[in-house]
Amino acid sequence: MRLLAHSAQPKKGLQEQTYQEHILGVFRRAQANVEEMLLYAQAALVTTFRSIVLWAACFHDLGKIEKENQEVLNGKKKAKHLPVNHVDAGVAYLKERENKLEAAFLVLSHHHGLCSIPKEMDRLFPFRDQAIIDKTDDRLNEYLSLHQREVNLNLDDSQQLNIADGLSRRLALSCLVDADHSDTARYERPDYQGRWEERLKKLDEYVHNAYERNEKSKRNELRNAIYFACRDGDTASPVYYCDSPVGTGKTTAVMAYLLQAAIQKQLRHIIIVLPFTNIITQSVKIYREALVLDGEDPELIVAEHDHQADFSSFEARELAALWNAPIIVTTAVQFFETLGSNNPTRLRKLHELPGSGIFIDECHAAIPTWLWPQAWKWLQNLTMEWGCHLILASGTTGKFWEIGDFIDEPVRIPELVPEELRKQACEYEQKRVELKVTNPTLSHLNSPIAFDTVDDLIDFMLTKEGPRLVIMNTVFSAAFLANRMKKRGLDALHLSTSLTPKDREPIIETIYGRLKRDEKTKKLKYNPDWTLVATSCAEAGLNFSFRNGFAQLRSLQSYLQIDGRVNRDGEYQGSEMWCFTVNDPNLKTHPGFKTSQKVFRQMIEDNLINELNITELVTETLKRELKEDRSEKIEKILKYERSHEYPDVAEICKIIDSDTRLVVMDPEIIRMLENGDKISSIQLIKNSVQVWAQKIDQLGLAPVGGYQEIYRWFDNGYDPEFLGYMKAILELDLIGNTQVLIF
């Protein structure tokens, strides 16, 4: 009987795979992964890292040799799963025969995830499966004999040092998991070239053409000056900060800087991290126009990872979005949750991170305040030990890395934009929009403006000239408000994550079209009396410029960021940015905003909005949020990471406090999945949304045939042009009048 690693998968077009083929394939891929990564590592890490990963790759599937497992793999017996845990044999050999504890831990983790090392060490038999320990120990010599007959690899037999920190251990596991998953799916990583010099030249041309095309205004002169200041900036430090105000061209300016750094430091990738609430489509569009060279596929050169596409099931594994394109645009949710994850499928892409340029845009909104102390440690590790080059950027952030109570060792980060240029930009910014957080005719002095009903809010907004932007705190609230405005005969557009990425694109194009001006008269081409109702997805990364803005009370940082979508180019006189609360019982509250709302309300009541500048406001906000959250979350995640309690780190590191599932909206994509047709992760993501797991159960959504982790929405319950999947929630007859809680 031939030793097999995997049975045939006819639906996937995969033939059976022998044990020899799989082990050699995984070893080759793991070796390639670790060698590429180690080009950027500190010298002290190289030897031990290589040894750990390769020993683990060689013996990760040793237990599949077990006779009972082979009977299933060869089709002699039918079973959904292998009858004997095949991980225990590799763990036993590496831990107890070879004293390779780190390699043994990788083998244990490549299926089950990173466990809590302290809890594991408290067990009678650490790392081992106690239910089969006797069977494994009795048959281990037989497994090894058959393994050596099939596989003969030269391994470094020197002593392995322990890995000191959790991030490095995750990187090691990533090398193994990616090799295993890729070989199982027969996936060959595409070889895309950075071609950084050519891309920088094309970006220069793109910016030059835009400058020549635009009106010669103070704002455009500032944008041009900031671009070249960043493009020609110093790259000596591994970390820089860019605090240029919103609307001053950070998207292209920081990219030019990172391309220069990539040329000088021979970086592998450039990774753009945008806020977890942000739509990344606009940034991707700009990067594809400005950076993709002739003959290249834009989707493969600038990869758009709009929301999570990590799966644990074999069927969906090949759809996982990997960080292997030259330029990756991803969300802060995916980026930071991956850094803290213990899940093998999510960690699969992490080994691509060393040697990358990382741009965390709008860092004030990227992650909750309580996560930054630990996230800062991870980022320092990446820059100091793994050759990453980091840019933190925001027009509305405080310098948390200088706050002693926030960071263990406060540091000063060099500024990317020269001081005089920053000063000019800030002076221009202060004249652009009037911030309005109180109104004695609508509320008590020094308290947020409050409305009793959605109709009261609508009536107030209509007293302000359009075009108007209003940002709501939940997907449901945005859809409810937009729907109410439409029923009243008002001109309203709706933009939120209730729409798939594919369907958000034409809405964004419509918005831009409505905001265009006649080149001669400079007047809006479209009637200005209209309103965009959106969630935080329109908060950053989109070059909208509305006449007036409104934001439901959430956080000071978000309010200031939304302000950047109002009178962005200074084309209006007397623009206002209003903050409000609404007590309508039809709307839903967002539990994740409790602390930020409390602190923002305090700042309004203390009249600090009118007394402090933006940097002082945000820094004071950070200090207050820190005081609120420190004992609850900050100390916990620092402690868990320090003591290697990886499941606890992953749980507390969830930026969005929800368990979501991928729900496909497009019937054609559902048909292709159920027929076993080949589709890319890009196709899947663009035609899907994320829905909370509790809503999946509550609504009784059915899985797509053959995929346990991918679901289908209600027939006729999706509106691609306006409400998205909120059509079904607002029209309860479509889902059997189910009472749905917070969305």
Is the residue at 614 inside a domain?
no
In the chain, the number of structural domains is 4
SS3 category, 203: helix
pLDDT at 678: 83
Is the residue at 635 inside a domain?
no
Is the residue at 22 inside a domain?
yes
pLDDT at 93: 97
- Which is more confident, 90 or 422? 90
The answer to whether the beta carbons of residues 461 and 454 sit under 8 Å apart is no
Claim to verify: residue 120 and residue 216 sit in the same structural domain: no
Give, as one character, the DSSP assignment of residue 672.
Answer: H
Which tens digits make up the pLDDT trace of 679-731? 887 788 889 998 888 888 888 899 998 788 899 999 888 999 999 999 998 88
Last residue of a domain, one of 428, 463, 483: 428
Percent of the chain residues past pLDDT 90, beyond the cut: 53
**Which are the contacts of 440, defined by CB distance < 8 A and separation ≥ 6?**
none
- Which is more confident, 695 or 528? 528
Q: From residue 424, how far is each of 256, 257, 428 by CA, in Å?
A: 21, 21, 6
Q: Report the pLDDT averaged over residues 456-469.
A: 96
Q: What tokens were used for 174?
A: 């990533």
Is the residue at 404 inside a domain?
yes
pLDDT at 654: 82
226: phi then psi, degrees, rounded to nearest 5: -65, -40
Give the C-alpha separation, 502 to 505, whole Å.
Answer: 6
**Which are the contacts of 663, defined by CB distance < 8 A and separation ≥ 6?**
688, 689, 690, 691, 696, 701, 710, 711, 712, 713, 725
Token pair 């995984």 in the structure block, residue: 26
Give the C-alpha separation, 741 to 730, whole Å.
Answer: 12
Claim to verify: residue 269 and residue 396 sit in the same structural domain: yes
pLDDT at 733: 52
Report angle CA 645, 649, 652 to the nearest 5 degrees. Answer: 140
Lowest mean pLDDT among 209-218, 219-228, 325-334, 376-385: 209-218
pLDDT at 247: 67
Confidence of residue 570 (pLDDT cuts 50, 70, 90): confident
One-letter amino acid at 720 equals P
The answer to whether the beta carbons of residues 210 and 202 sit under 8 Å apart is no
Q: Concatenated DSSP letters for 74-118? A: TTSS--SS-SS-SHHHHHHIIIIIS--HHHHHHHHHHHH---BHH
pLDDT at 438: 79
Of residues 54, 33, 422, the one with CA closest to residue 243: 422
Most confidently predicted of 366-370, 630-634, 731-735: 366-370
Ranges of beta strands (E only) in 605-664 are: 660-664
Claim to verify: residue 690 and residue 586 sit in the same structural domain: no
Confidence of residue 125 (pLDDT cuts 50, 70, 90): very high
**Which are the contacts of 465, defined by CB distance < 8 A and separation ≥ 6?**
528, 547, 548
Q: Report the pLDDT averaged over residues 203-216.
A: 86
Is the residue at 743 inside a domain?
no
Report angle CA 121, 644, 57 to the nearest 5 degrees. Answer: 80
Last residue of a domain, one of 149, 164, 184: 184
Lowest mean pLDDT among 116-130, 204-218, 263-277: 204-218
Of residues 740, 743, 730, 729, the one with CA closest to residue 698: 740
Claim to verify: residue 478 and residue 391 sit in the same structural domain: no
Claim to verify: residue 147 and residue 283 sit in the same structural domain: no
Check pLDDT > 70 for residue 277: no
Q: Report the pLDDT averaged over residues 631-652.
A: 90
pLDDT at 316: 46
pLDDT at 319: 47
- The CATH number given to whatever domain includes residue 240 is 3.40.50.300
Give the C-alpha separation, 301 to 324, whole Å.
Answer: 9
* Torsion 411-417-420-421 (CA) sign: negative
Claim to verify: residue 249 and residue 278 sit in the same structural domain: yes
SS3 category, 432: coil
pLDDT at 445: 63
Is the residue at 191 inside a domain?
no
Is the residue at 399 inside a domain?
yes
The answer to whether the beta carbons of residues 210 and 256 sit under 8 Å apart is no
pTM exceeds cut of 0.85 = no
Claim to verify: residue 304 and residue 404 sit in the same structural domain: yes
Q: What tokens were used for 605?
A: 């009541």
Average pLDDT, the chain: 87
Which tens digits make up the pLDDT trace of 659-680? 678 999 999 999 999 888 888 8
Which tens digits make up the pLDDT trace of 283-306? 888 999 999 999 998 888 998 876
Domain span at residue 379? 196-428
pLDDT at 628: 73
Claim to verify: residue 240 and residue 141 sit in the same structural domain: no
Q: What tokens were used for 362?
A: 């709008």
529: phi then psi, degrees, rounded to nearest 5: -85, 70
Of residues 620, 616, 625, 485, the one with CA closest to residue 550: 485
pLDDT at 592: 72
Last residue of a domain, one of 428, 456, 472: 428
Claim to verify: residue 135 and residue 271 sit in the same structural domain: no
Q: Report the pLDDT averaged over residues 38-47.
A: 90
Claim to verify: residue 101 and residue 59 sit in the same structural domain: yes
Check pLDDT > 60 for residue 647: yes
Which tens digits make up the pLDDT trace of 171-194? 999 999 999 999 988 877 777 889
Ranges of beta strands (E only) in 576-706 are: 576-582, 660-664, 688-692
Neighbours of 75 (CB within 10 A): 11
Is the residue at 615 inside a domain?
no
Q: Report the pLDDT averaged over residues 32-38.
A: 96
Q: b/e per residue, 103-119, with b = 16+ CB within 10 A?
A: bbbbbbbbeebbbbbee
Confidence of residue 397 (pLDDT cuts 50, 70, 90): low
Claim to verify: residue 307 and residue 174 sit in the same structural domain: no
SS3 category, 471: strand
Claim to verify: residue 115 and residue 227 sit in the same structural domain: no
